[in-house]
Amino acid sequence: MSNSVSIKVHQVSKKFGHDRDEVIALDEVSVEIRENEFFTLLGPSGCGKTTLLRLIAGFEHPSEGDIFLNDESIAHLPPYLRPVNTVFQNYALFPHMTVSENIGFGLSMQDKPPTEIDATVSEMLRLVQMEALRDRRTDQISGGQQQRVALARALAPHPRVLLLDEPLSALDYKLRKGMQIELKRLQMETGITFIFVTHDQEEALTMSDRIAVMNKGRILQVGSPNDIYDHPSERFVADFIGDTNFLSAELVESTSESSLLKLASGKTASAGPSGSTLRSMVNIAIRPEQAILTSDEASAEFSGTVTNVLYSGTDSVFHIELKSGEEFIAKVQNSGDTRRDWKTGQALGINIQPGAIQILRD
């Protein structure tokens, strides 16, 4: 993976409607997407992720700001002049053309010679394993097959960037899992930059090189799946991806590498850098699986009483009421050596794995 920038979005805003009905879909968004990267825009519906994708594709134009492709401004080019292709959510396959005509459409619009079109179409059909169905009409093939044709059609002109607008959302669970692997393989094989839009956090975590989490028209955090999961920068990110305990603590000491917290229990604990926060009371996030339960109540970082126990095969989930009154959820793996037979009403202590306390920006 090279580090040169493919798509650069610079302070882009997009507003729909005007005056009182104005809706701000994107609010001064800036992001850089690298060459050959599998980049995901993740967020709830209405967060602006699809709008950002449509701006890159050229179906909409930014109200403010600019978009660059390899340092060239493309924000005001029509879609047919951008070397960028899209896989649509509903596939948008041409119903009056066969599978191979669909795949060859982009090349024929670029006035490529017929022999080259034929060769590329065959190559694409092989790539998505659809050789047998090349002369079928697109309404005669299944949803999964339509998905493959849509992919092949968008890849055939060898775009510099491929945009994917929730392409897997119409497929059932099993097909979706298969296509996730398939998409990752295609991205590796073609070396094309993929920008993938989804609201499914699991999908984003498995497939992406980097993820941008979006909400209300803004990008909240950009980072690797690992980064995003382990070090969420703010409450929304921590909440949207995985389960999290939110607690408050007092910031005692803060350097650029680490910080020291005074917990509600009076104990101290170390955490990652506190970022720009200057307040003394901060919110912290702790993943349920980062808790280590112990009977040694007195020396533990937190202590509380078990209110509920949920058994789910591989792990058990404990609901604990802390001394401070806050609720804490701990998830413990059910391997043989861990003691896990705490009952409702029992008192216990909770330790947090080193570095697992994340200070939130808000």
Partner 1 sequence: MISRGIASKPFSVRKLPGFTFIAILCFALLYAPIVTLVGYSFNAGNSLAVWEGFSLQWYYAAWQNDKVQGAAILSVIIALQASLYATILATMAALGTTRTRNFRGQTAIYTMINQPLMVPEIVTAVALLICFAVIKQATDYHGLVYLVIAHTAFCIPFAYLPIRARLEGMDKSLEIAAADLYATPWRCFRRVTLPLLWPGILAGAMLAFVISLDDVVITEFVKSAGQDTLPTYMLGQLRRVITPEINAISTALLAISVLMVSLVFLLNRKKS
Partner 2 sequence: MSQNTSPLSIQEQLARQQETKTNWLLCTPALIVLFLAASGPLLVMLFYSFLTPGDYGGVEYQLSFDGWMNVFLFRDIFDDVLSIADAHVAIFWRSIRLSLMTTITCLILGFPTAYFIATRPRQSRNFWLFLITIPFWTNLLIRTFAIMEVIRNKGIVNNLLIDLDLIQQPIQMLYTDFAIMLGMTYVYLPLMILPLYASMEKLDFGLIEAGYDLYATRIRVLRKVIIPLIKPGIIAGSILVFIPSLGAFVTPRVLGGGKNLMLGNLIELQFGQGRNWPLGAALSITLLFIVMAALLLYVKNVQKSGVQHD
The CB-of-79 to partner 1 minimum distance in angstroms stands at 4
> Is beta strand 23-34 parallel, antiparallel or unpaired with respect to 5-16?
antiparallel
Judged by CB under 8 A, which stretch of 83-91, 118-126, 234-242, 333-341 contacts partner 1? 83-91
Considering only residues 39 to 58 of the shown chain, the ones binding partner 1 according to CB under 8 A are: 57-58
Applying CB under 8 A, does 343 fall inside the site for partner 1? Answer: no
HSE-CB for 352 with a 13 A CA cutoff: 24
> 185-205 burial, b if ≥16 CB within 10 A, otherwise e?
ebbeeeebbbbbbbbbbebbb
Considering only residues 206 to 265 of the shown chain, the ones binding partner 1 according to CB under 8 A are: none
Nearer to partner 1, 152 or 293 (CB): 152
Taking CB within 5 to 8 Å according to partner kind, which of partner 1, partner 2, none is near residue 343?
none
Nearer to partner 1, 154 or 204 (CB): 154
Nearer to partner 1, 154 or 211 (CB): 154
Helix axis angle, 143-155 relative to 173-190, nearest 10°?
A: 20
Applying CB under 8 A, does 58 fall inside the site for partner 2? Answer: no
Which two tokens mark 154?
Answer: 């968008």
The Cβ of residue 243 has, within 10 Å, a number of other Cβ atoms equal to 12
361: nearest Cα among 264, 211, 218? 218
Number of amino acids touching partner 2 (CB under 8 A):
13
Applying CB under 8 A, does 140 fall inside the site for partner 1? Answer: no
Applying CB under 8 A, does 92 fall inside the site for partner 1? Answer: yes
> Which residue in the set 64, 66, 250, 297 belongs to the binding site for partner 2 (CB under 8 A)?
64
Applying CB under 8 A, does 106 fall inside the site for partner 1? Answer: yes
Applying CB under 8 A, does 81 fall inside the site for partner 2? Answer: no
Give the contacts of 85 (CB within 8 A, at least 6 positions apart): 106, 153, 154, 155, 157, 159, 161, 162, 163
Which two tokens mark 271?
Answer: 């955490």
Applying CB under 8 A, does 362 fall inside the site for partner 2? Answer: no
Applying CB under 8 A, does 27 fall inside the site for partner 2? Answer: yes
Compute the distance between CA of residue 340 and CA of residue 319 in angstroms, rounded to an integer.
13
- The one-character DSSP state at 71 is T
Amino acid type, 30? S
Applying CB under 8 A, does 227 fall inside the site for partner 2? Answer: no
Applying CB under 8 A, does 15 fall inside the site for partner 2? Answer: yes
Nearer to partner 2, 35 or 64 (CB): 64
The CB-of-6 to partner 1 minimum distance in angstroms stands at 17
Runs of H (alpha helix) within 196-333: 201-207, 225-230, 235-240
For the chain, list the strands marked E by DSSP. Answer: 5-16, 23-34, 38-42, 64-69, 72-73, 84-87, 161-165, 193-198, 210-215, 218-223, 245-254, 259-262, 268-271, 281-286, 291-294, 302-312, 315-322, 327-333, 347-352, 358-359
Applying CB under 8 A, does 105 fall inside the site for partner 1? Answer: yes
Applying CB under 8 A, does 20 fall inside the site for partner 1? Answer: no
Judged by CB under 8 A, which stretch of 61-69, 177-185, 267-275, 297-305 contacts partner 2? 61-69
Applying CB under 8 A, does 85 fall inside the site for partner 1? Answer: yes
Structural Rg of the chain based on CA atoms: 25
Positions in the binding site for partner 2 (CB under 8 A): 13, 15, 17-19, 22, 27-28, 61-64, 76
Positions in the binding site for partner 1 (CB under 8 A): 57-59, 78-81, 84-86, 88, 90, 92-96, 105-106, 109-110, 153-154, 157
